[in-house]
């Protein structure tokens, strides 16, 4: 076959694939309630959707043009994802999507990322410039088995993937890759340590990124209850924003913002709340009697934040300094 004719064939294949993407996007795809039923007109190229995971194999034969399967990537990985044995419900990592034909055919197989309308591979050739994408097939299999490999999975890889064979009537399969990412607290949108005056209101905010979207829970670092207001105290509270009304010295302490989305590990940030209040003086014994010539100790307790400067005076308001008589 001449080079010009080969290029023409490739151009034709790519145009057909692009047409298939646009046509598929224009129509509403619905899951069939009974994928095992047979149609009267048997499709010549029988297609099998096979999920291979690190625990086992799951295969579903069908003869429809469209089929959806949810494929889950448990978290980002620096290594190619692999497959071993188990049940489908324990499926955690996506490595490939397999297409089997009922007999040997000379048709071309292509992989596409549906949301990006991007052709990834055509037959043995990688079309995309993404270096993490590769394609292989089993030459010794009596069926043509094609594998799309995604190394070092990223969030951008999430979405529907389409495998298409350019038979006389193009056959298409869809798979969905869901990338899940552990939570990460966004410091730019999260409160840091705060200092407030007693009696004011304060709001602590906590934001986290991840997939699925993380939930936020608050609790005190000392395991004491969170005082929301005069009538409400809780052990923990699930909310992005923790609002403390008419704050008092009882609110003072460290609060933990904990983000989780079911993908380990959960993460937390410690936020310290400091409450400024005027000095409070408490004298346990205001009148003390002592025989002449004996020593006596006077007690005075002061609570304040920030720490107060304390001193003693006589009735004439003259400050008492340290001396052999006063210590």
> Which residue segments constitute the domains of the chain, with CATH numbers given?
46-104 (no CATH), 109-177 (2.60.40.10), 183-278 (2.60.40.10)
For residue 287, what are the CA distances in angstroms to 202, 284, 296? 42, 9, 12
Pairing of strands 208-211, 118-122: unpaired
pLDDT at 172: 87
pLDDT at 17: 53
Q: What's the pTM value of the predicted model, to 2 decimals?
A: 0.58
pLDDT at 314: 84
pLDDT at 61: 35
Burial code of 183-208, b = ≥16 C-beta within 10 A, e = fewer?
bebeeeebbeeeebebeeebebebbb
Sign of CA dihedral 226, 228, 232, 238: negative
Segment-wise mean pLDDT, segments of 10 residues, the chain, 327 residues: 51 51 43 31 32 37 34 38 29 34 57 89 91 85 78 89 84 88 95 95 96 96 90 93 91 96 95 94 88 89 90 85 83
């Amino acid at each position: 076959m001449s080079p010009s004719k080969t290029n023409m064939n490739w151009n034709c294949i790519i145009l057909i694939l692009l047409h298939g993407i646009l046509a598929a996007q224009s129509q509403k795809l619905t899951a069939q309630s009974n994928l095992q039923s047979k149609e009267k007109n048997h499709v010549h190229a029988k297609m099998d959707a096979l999920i291979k995971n690190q625990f086992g194999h799951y295969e579903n034969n069908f003869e429809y043009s469209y089929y959806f399967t949810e494929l889950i990537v448990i978290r980002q990985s620096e290594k190619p994802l692999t497959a071993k044995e188990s049940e489908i419900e324990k499926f955690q990592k996506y490595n490939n999507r397999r297409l089997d034909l009922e007999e040997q055919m000379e048709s071309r197989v292509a992989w596409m990322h549906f949301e990006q309308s991007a052709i990834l591979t055509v037959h043995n050739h990688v079309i995309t410039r993404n270096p993490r994408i590769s394609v292989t097939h089993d030459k010794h299999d009596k069926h043509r088995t094609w594998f799309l490999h995604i190394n070092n999975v990223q969030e951008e890889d999430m979405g529907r993937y389409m495998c298409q064979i350019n038979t006389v009537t193009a056959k298409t399969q869809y798979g969905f890759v869901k990338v899940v990412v552990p939570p990460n607290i966004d410091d730019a949108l999260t409160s840091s340590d705060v200092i407030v005056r007693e009696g004011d209101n304060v709001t602590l905010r906590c934001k986290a990124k991840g997939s699925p979207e993380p939930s936020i829970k608050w609790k005190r670092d000392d395991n004491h209850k969170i005082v929301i207001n005069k009538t409400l105290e809780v052990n923990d509270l699930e909310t992005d924003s923790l609002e403390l009304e008419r704050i008092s010295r009882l609110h003072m302490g460290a609060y933990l913002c904990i983000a989780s989305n079911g993908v380990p590990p959960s993460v937390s940030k410690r936020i310290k709340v400091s409450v400024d209040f005027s000095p409070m003086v408490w004298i346990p014994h205001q009148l003390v009697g002592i025989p002449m010539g004996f020593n006596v100790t006077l007690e005075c307790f002061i609570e304040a934040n920030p720490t107060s400067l304390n001193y003693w005076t006589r009735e004439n308001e003259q400050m008492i300094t340290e001396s052999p008589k006063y210590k």
